[in-house]
């Protein structure tokens, strides 16, 4: 269970970091826009992983 909590924290940090990086990139020129979108996709994916791990942790705590 501690390993799961560690992974949750890690994915949360990754998602926050990627999101911060994306916000710091200006929208122009077009190359920046693509980079920004890519970072946001990665942040969303990390967030989804984090949410899935949280659900798993909740399931384990109930059992």
The pTM (predicted TM-score) of the whole model is: 0.88
pLDDT higher than threshold 90 for residue 63:
no
Closest listed residue to residue 45, CA positions, set 7, 10, 14: 14
Determine the structural domain holding residue 53 and report its residue range.
2-62
pLDDT higher than threshold 90 for residue 59:
yes
Note the pLDDT of residue 34.
94
Percent of the chain with pLDDT over 70: 100
Note the pLDDT of residue 45.
98
Report the number of distinct structural domains present in the chain.
Answer: 1
Q: What is residue 29's DSSP assignment?
A: S
pLDDT band of residue 27 (cuts 50, 70, 90) is confident
Residues 6+ apart with CB under 8 A from 26: 32
């Amino acid at each position: 269970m501690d390993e799961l909590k560690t992974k949750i924290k890690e994915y949360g940090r990754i998602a926050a970091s990627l999101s911060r990086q994306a916000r710091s990139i200006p929208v122009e020129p077009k190359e920046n826009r693509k980079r920004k979108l890519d970072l946001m996709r990665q942040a969303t994916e990390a967030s989804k992983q984090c949410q899935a791990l949280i659900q798993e942790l909740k399931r384990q705590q109930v059992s």
